[in-house]
Chain A
Amino acid sequence: GDSVTQMEGPVTLSEEAFLTINCTYTATGYPSLFWYVQYPGEGLQLLLKATKADDKGSNKGFEATYRKETTSFHLEKGSVQVSDSAVYFCALGHRGSNYKLTFGKGTLLTVNP
């Protein structure tokens, strides 16, 4: 079955540091890939997505590129802010399976001023 593996946390960075959170997946066919974010005390929100190989999703300064050759969808941001502190989840879904999502375990990011 499908699976998503993302780097273990927690990740602690200083403000303005560069962020990478690794995500790799195992899936049949051509899934859509997602990053969801959960801010403290809030619900899950879609951060960005990509639906086919080589697509780049971007939002709020975050980017991730769908790499089929390496089955990866790493999340990056050039300069993190304290407000980016949250838990980040990588996920995949198939159109043929009604986009029910398979999630990674989540990575807790803490950004210090």
Chain B
Amino acid sequence: GAGVSQSPSNKVTEKGKDVELRCDPISGHTALYWYRQSLGQGLEFLIYFQGNSAPDKSGLPSDRFSAERTGGSVSTLTIQRTQQEDSAVYLCAVGRAAYNEQFFGPGTRLTVL
């Protein structure tokens, strides 16, 4: 997706390990979203950041998942004590407040063995 990079592109980890996924958006997009795309559940919203407002964490599936956004730019999604059901593609998207178009990054494919 134009203007959004994610790293790593692929991550293989062992069950029980922690992982960090990074989203690096271009400037000017104040809204940032994380979604998860998995075979069983399809595309699901995880968390939303907008400026300095408190994030909307309503989509996080468990307390093993957390995310932060530093300086209104880069965001990191952290999954602690990974489980096999966490295997999915994690997508980051950005947009501008008051606009309803989101630009998606290429995603990070997470595989938990």
> What residues make up the interface of A, taking CB atoms closer than 8 Å to B?
32, 34, 36, 42-46, 49, 51, 89, 91, 93, 95, 97-106
Complex partner residue of B91 from A44, A91, A97, CB under 8 angstroms? A44
Q: Is the CB of A103 within 8 A of B101?
A: no
Known: A43-B1, A43-B91, A101-B33. 20 other contacts (CB 8 A): A42-B106, A43-B105, A43-B106, A43-B107, A44-B1, A44-B93, A45-B1, A45-B104, A46-B103, A49-B100, A91-B43, A93-B100, A99-B31, A99-B100, A99-B102, A100-B48, A100-B56, A100-B58, A101-B45, A106-B43
Q: Is the CB of A105 within 8 A of B42?
A: yes
How long is the Cα–Cα vector from A100 to B102 in the complex, in angstroms? 9
Q: Which 9 A-B pairs have the closest CB atoms?
A: A103-B43, A44-B104, A43-B1, A100-B45, A43-B106, A105-B42, A43-B104, A99-B100, A32-B100
How long is the Cα–Cα vector from A105 to B42 in the complex, in angstroms? 5
- List 11 A-B pairs, Cβ < 8 Å: A43-B105, A45-B1, A49-B101, A51-B100, A95-B100, A99-B31, A99-B100, A101-B35, A101-B45, A102-B45, A104-B42
Point out the residues of chain B lying under 8 angstroms from A101, CB to CB.
Answer: 33, 35, 43, 45, 102
B 33-55 contacts with A by CB, 8 A = 33, 35, 42-45, 48, 50
Point out the residues of chain A lying under 8 angstroms from B95, CB to CB.
Answer: 99
Point out the residues of chain B lying under 8 angstroms from A104, CB to CB.
Answer: 42
Judge whether B8 is part of the interface by a CB distance below 8 angstroms. Answer: no
Point out the residues of chain B lying under 8 angstroms from A32, CB to CB.
Answer: 100
B 59-113 contacts with A by CB, 8 A = 59, 91, 93, 95, 100-107
Q: Is the CB of A100 within 8 A of B59?
A: yes
Q: Is the CB of A103 within 8 A of B42?
A: yes
Point out the residues of chain B lying under 8 angstroms from A34, CB to CB.
Answer: 100
Point out the residues of chain B lying under 8 angstroms from A43, CB to CB.
Answer: 1, 91, 104-107
